[in-house]
Amino acid sequence: MTDNAQHALWNGLAGQAWVQAQSLLDGMFAPFARLLAQAQPAGAVQQVLDIGCGTGAVSLAIAARLGSGGHCTGVDIAAAMIERARQRARDAGLEVDFVVADAQRHAFAPASVDRIVSRFGVMFFDDPVQAFTRLRHATRHGGSLHALTWRSAAENAFMTTAERAAAPMLTLPARDPDAPGQFAFADPDRVRAILTDSGWTELQLTAIDVPCQIPRRDLRTYISLLGPVGSALRSADIDAATRARVLAAVEQAFAPFVEGDSVRFTAACWEVRASAG
């Protein structure tokens, strides 16, 4: 997929889905927002940049933690997601800047940032070395990177349950582990090479296994909106009967994750830290 394809994806079906499912996803990924916010020194006079900030949960959590002395800016390629993030900042009375930009190509002011954070927003660059070099130039000497990314699809069965169940009924795009996408940072050697080639130092990749959940009542919404199956189910090409069959089969496939009123899974991720030293 080219950068234009990522731009189109996140300004199209994927971005719309993330806006529509914002509260569901923020509940699901709340442990990751907490992890990034709690690592933020409270009240620090720091400039923080949230890459691929989406609808803004992490930026808002960091801004609340920083207070008036520091400042957080969220950057995302998807205009609708940034619009939602801005609305949320206004509603929360928080001063956060949200910028619509491609973080790989954006001209960030040099040495203007103390800390770069990201919750699942840095795996979509078609030239990750260009992106991480720019992000390093944006970071002041001694500043840091703290990003959360997914480990492999094999270690994250929940994330591919829908497409495996739907595969006999739908033609879905193949997942290419080396192409921009959810699992593009699964291989730790690849991540280390990208960061080293971009000039980052003191790399630390820590495997973390994080319990996540959504309410059982939200499972159908999750399936209908998100990932490749969600996109296929919302496409104009699918007829009502196939849609109903796919939904039923996929919902059934999630049965092993249902516990009472909740759907629970463990997210297998990398906590990536580096220094702009």
Ligand X SMILES: C[S@@+](CC[C@H](N)C(=O)[O-])C[C@H]1O[C@@H](n2cnc3c(N)ncnc32)[C@H](O)[C@@H]1O
Closer residue to ligand X, CB minimum distance, 86 or 243: 86
* Separation in Å, CA 236 to CA 32, 50, 232, 239, 243: 34, 34, 9, 8, 11
Is 185 among the residues that bind ligand X (CB under 6 A)?
A: no
Closer residue to ligand X, CB minimum distance, 155 or 245: 155
CB of 73 vs ligand X, minimal distance in Å: 12
- Asked if 268 contacts 207 with a C-beta cutoff of 8 angstroms, the reply is yes
Question: In the stretch 57-86, what mask flags binding to ligand X with x, by CB under 6 A?
Answer: xx----------------xxxx--x-----
Closer residue to ligand X, CB minimum distance, 62 or 274: 62
Task: Find the binding residues for ligand X in span 84-143 (CB under 6 A).
Answer: 102-104, 119-121, 124-125
Is the C-alpha dihedral spanning 88, 262, 31, 132 positive or negative?
negative
Is 269 among the residues that bind ligand X (CB under 6 A)?
A: no
CB of 165 vs ligand X, minimal distance in Å: 21
Q: Which residue has the tokens 């009123």?
A: 261
Closer residue to ligand X, CB minimum distance, 117 or 232: 117
- Residue 67, helix vs strand vs coil: helix
Stretch that binds ligand X, among 48-56, 62-70, 84-92, 207-215 (CB under 6 A): 48-56
Number of residues that this document lists for the chain: 277
User: Using only C-alpha atoms, what is the Rg of the chain?
Assistant: 18
Rounded to whole angstroms, the Cα distance separating 173 from 191 reads 24
One residue of 36, 52, 66, 162 binding ligand X per CB under 6 A: 52
Q: Which two tokens stand for residue 40?
A: 């933020």
Task: Find the binding residues for ligand X in span 28-47 (CB under 6 A).
Answer: 29
One residue of 53, 113, 233, 269 binding ligand X per CB under 6 A: 53
Q: Which two tokens stand for residue 248?
A: 């039923």
Task: Give 128's contacts (C-beta < 8 A, 6+ positions apart).
Answer: 104, 122, 184, 194, 198
Task: List 215's β-bridge partners, or say none.
Answer: 262
Contact residues for ligand X, defined by CB under 6 A: 6, 10, 15, 25, 29, 52-55, 57-58, 75-78, 81, 102-104, 119-121, 124-125
